[in-house]
Chains A and B, each alone.
Chain A
C-alpha cells in the first residue's frame, strides 16, 4: 500500500474510533440508567465553572469524577483569563449570571507547554500576544522566580503563580463581585494538577481576603 493510502486509512480509522467509542459510551449509560439522557435534555445546573488548560491530559470532568451536567467548562492555552478576551468573559458571565455556579476553579498544571513556550526566547508568531500574559506574570514575581536556579522548579512555580494571577483576574470582574455581594457565591479557587500523581493541589487562595485586596482598586460591586 502506498503511503498516502496508508495515511488516508489511518485518518479514517482514528476518525471512526471516536464514533465507535461514543456509541459504546451512550449504550453503557442507557443500560445503567434508562432516563439518563432524558434528564440531561431537560437542562443543566452545574455547581462548578472550570477554567483550565486545553492540554489533552486534563479532561476536567474525568479527573474530578464528575459526570455530564455537573461542570461548566472553558479551556484555553495555559488557562488564562484576560480582561479584554470576550471569549472567556462570556463564559464567566454566563456561568455566574445565568447558571449561578457556586464555585469557580482556575486550574493549571505542572509541565504546562504554554507556560514553557511563553518563556522561550523565540518569536512564536500568532501565539505571542496570548503568551505575553505569562511573561507579565513572571515580571510581577520576578524577584521570587529569579531566586530559583533550576529551570524545572522555576517553571513549576510560574505555573502556580500564573494560576493565582488568573484567579485574581476572575475576581476582578463585575460579574463575580456583584454575584458574591448578593448571594455569597461564587467562590474562586486556584488549583494545580500534577501528572506525577494525578492529584489536584489546592493553592489555598483565600477568596475573601483576596477579594478585599482586589476591590481596593478593581471595585465594581454595583
Chain B
C-alpha cells in the first residue's frame, strides 16, 4: 500500500480501493450485502489490532458477527456482550459461538501482575487476575511469562465460555437447535488458530478444583 502522511487519508483511500475491488470482482456484491446478513458464526475476540477476525479467517464481509473487547472477556453482568449474544443467537440464529483468545495478549500479560491500570481497566481485568490467583500452582510451573500469558488466555477463554453457557438465549439454542460453543487461541507469531479441547464442561457448576 502507498504511504500516506495522514493515517486518516490512508484508511479513506483504503476504503475506496476496497469498494472498487469488491465491485470489480462482483458487480452485485453490495446489492447482496444491502439485503441483509445471515452470519453462521458469532466471534467474541480481543480488541487487539493483530487479530482481525475476517482477515485471519480468510472470510468475507457477511460471514462473521463480531464482538471484540479487552481480552475477549465475557462478564456475567456485562450488558454490552450480553446484547450482542442475544441479537446474534436469538435473532440471527448463528450456528456457532466462538471465543478467541490469543498469544501475546496485553490483557493476559497485565493479569499476570497487579500493576495499577486505572480503575476502569483494573475492574475489567479483575476476573482474569482472579484466574491467575486460582491457578497459581499450575502457572508457576510454566517456563516463562510468555507461556503463563498463553495459559491465562486459555483459562480466560474457558471462563468466558462458562459465562456464555448461562446466557438464556444460548441455553435455549443449545437445547432447541444444537448451537455449539468453541474456544480458540490465535497464535500471533504463527498466524494460526488452535481449537481448545472442551475441558470446561466439568466445571460448569461454578466449582473450581486446584491443579
Residues of A within 8 A of B (CB): 7-8, 11, 14-15, 18-19, 21-26, 29-30, 36-38, 40-41, 43-44, 46-48, 54-77, 80, 82, 85-91, 93-95, 97-98, 102-103, 105, 111, 113-114, 117, 125-127, 129-131, 189, 195-200, 202
Do residues B49 and A68 form an inter-chain contact, with CB atoms below 8 A? yes
In the complex, how many residues of chain B place their beta carbon closer than 8 angstroms to a beta carbon of chain A? 84
Most A-side CB within 10 Å, residue of B10, B55, B64, B87: B87
How distant is the Cα of A85 from the Cα of B22 in the complex, in angstroms?
A: 36
Complex: chain B residue closest to A126, CB-CB: B86
How distant is the Cα of A91 from the Cα of B23 in the complex, in angstroms?
A: 33
Interface: B121 (CB within 8 A): yes
Interface: B189 (CB within 8 A): yes
Do residues A68 and B69 form an inter-chain contact, with CB atoms below 8 A? no
Task: Apart from A85-B80, A93-B117, list 16 A-B contacts with CB within 8 A.
Answer: A14-B95, A23-B192, A26-B191, A29-B191, A40-B191, A41-B188, A54-B67, A56-B61, A59-B61, A61-B54, A67-B52, A76-B80, A90-B120, A117-B87, A198-B33, A200-B12
How distant is the Cα of A64 from the Cα of B15 in the complex, in angstroms?
A: 4
How distant is the Cα of A152 from the Cα of B25 in the complex, in angstroms?
A: 29
Do residues A199 and B61 form an inter-chain contact, with CB atoms below 8 A? no
Q: Which residues of B contact A8 (CB under 8 A)?
A: 178
Do residues B81 and A87 form an inter-chain contact, with CB atoms below 8 A? yes
Interface: B83 (CB within 8 A): yes
Do residues B70 and A91 form an inter-chain contact, with CB atoms below 8 A? yes
Q: Which residues of B contact A73 (CB under 8 A)?
A: 47, 49, 52, 68
CB distance from B106 to the nearest CB of A (A): 7
Q: Which residues of B contact A57 (CB under 8 A)?
A: 33, 37, 61-62
1/0 per position for B6-41, CB-CB distance to A under 8 A?
A: 011011111111110011000001110110010111
Do residues B55 and A59 form an inter-chain contact, with CB atoms below 8 A? yes
How distant is the Cα of A56 from the Cα of B59 in the complex, in angstroms?
A: 10
How distant is the Cα of A130 from the Cα of B91 in the complex, in angstroms?
A: 15
Q: Which residues of A contact B59 (CB under 8 A)?
A: 18, 21, 59
How distant is the Cα of A69 from the Cα of B78 in the complex, in angstroms?
A: 27
Do residues B55 and A47 form an inter-chain contact, with CB atoms below 8 A? no
CB distance from A71 to the nearest CB of B (A): 5
Do residues A87 and B78 form an inter-chain contact, with CB atoms below 8 A? yes
How distant is the Cα of A158 from the Cα of B67 in the complex, in angstroms?
A: 22
How distant is the Cα of A188 from the Cα of B195 in the complex, in angstroms?
A: 37
Complex: chain A residue closest to B54, CB-CB: A59
Do residues B11 and A65 form an inter-chain contact, with CB atoms below 8 A? yes
How distant is the Cα of A71 from the Cα of B117 in the complex, in angstroms?
A: 21
Complex: chain A residue closest to B123, CB-CB: A86
Do residues A88 and B80 form an inter-chain contact, with CB atoms below 8 A? yes
Do residues B52 and A68 form an inter-chain contact, with CB atoms below 8 A? yes
Complex: chain A residue closest to B12, CB-CB: A200
A127-B78 contact given A66-B11, A70-B49, A196-B30, CB 8 Å threshold: no
Within 8 A of A (CB), among B55-97: 55-59, 61-70, 75, 78-84, 86-88, 91, 95-96
A43-B104 contact given A62-B61, A93-B118, CB 8 Å threshold: yes
Within 8 A of A (CB), among B184-208: 188-193, 195
Minimum-distance CB pairs A-B, first 6? A65-B14, A59-B54, A198-B19, A26-B191, A21-B58, A56-B39
25 A-B pairs in the complex with CB atoms less than 8 angstroms apart? A14-B41, A22-B56, A23-B192, A25-B191, A26-B191, A36-B191, A37-B189, A40-B191, A56-B39, A56-B63, A59-B55, A59-B64, A63-B18, A68-B52, A72-B48, A72-B49, A74-B68, A85-B79, A90-B70, A94-B47, A94-B106, A126-B86, A130-B79, A196-B34, A199-B16
CB distance from B56 to the nearest CB of A (A): 6
Do residues B69 and A91 form an inter-chain contact, with CB atoms below 8 A? yes
Complex: chain A residue closest to B184, CB-CB: A18
Do residues A56 and B66 form an inter-chain contact, with CB atoms below 8 A? yes
Do residues A126 and B22 form an inter-chain contact, with CB atoms below 8 A? no
